[in-house]
Amino acid sequence: MKSSSLLAMSMLAAACLLPATALAQDDASLWVGVSGGFAGEFNGEWDSQVRIGDIMVNAGDAIKDVDMETSWGGMLHYDVGVHPNIAIGGRLGYTSFLDRDRADEGWGRNSVVDLNFAPRFRFSPAGAAYELYLGVPLGLSVVIFDEDWRRKGNVDFDPGLGFNVSGLAGVKLELDERFGLFAELGWTLHSFRLEGQTSGTVFNGVDVGLDGDFNQFAVNLGGTFQL
């Protein structure tokens, strides 16, 4: 992974941890949950560099509107109130995903790890034991394609880097002074770039790239723990 990518991830991690050190308030909390993605589509574009004699030819193909299988994963979220109507924090997420075409052929699932800055715009009626909010997590993604791409697809991909953004409507319910529950519903987008080489084919060792993205309806459920 390039040094510039590592620097960007380090800066985002520092931004996500800033609330824990500089903005801590009475309502700092840790959220732990499971996540799911439903419906949605995968789109992408292949590109490759093929040598013909002394000439390098760029060959590519588009992937259009491929249906997604249900995705699943989990999340860890640190949340700090900085205003009665605003909370900010950091969110670490994991998602296992696969498109419908690869699923029908029995391929293994791919993985994406998200490191996000996660602001929330919240509202709670006076004296209520619940909080309504709109969350907008956004940040960097590390994408790892399953080994079946090498075994069945004859492409050996390196881990890729991209970004993700979500729009989530949620509710947080306080069970007591320390514990609560939350539920979120919305939409999420992942976009990424993968690079690798072909293997086991006539064009063995050809450099291959894939620019891809997928979007899904998102559901997150879990518990909150006051710190």
Confidence of residue 202 (pLDDT cuts 50, 70, 90): low
> Is residue 196 predicted with pLDDT exceeding 90?
no
The amino acid that residue 124 corresponds to is S
* pLDDT on residue 25: 47
Q: 21-26 long-range CB contacts below 8 Å, 24 or more apart?
A: 23/80, 23/82, 23/88, 24/80, 25/80, 25/81, 25/82, 26/81
Lowest mean per-residue pLDDT among 26-30, 128-132, 135-139, 209-213? 26-30
pTM of the model: 0.79
For residue 163, the 8-state DSSP code is E
Instruction: Answer yes or no: are the C-beta atoms of 160 and 195 closer than 8 Å.
Output: yes
Closest by Cα among 134, 44, 32 to 91:
32
Mean pLDDT for the stretch of residues 141-168: 89
pLDDT tens column, 37-80: 999 999 988 877 654 444 434 555 677 888 999 999 999 999 99
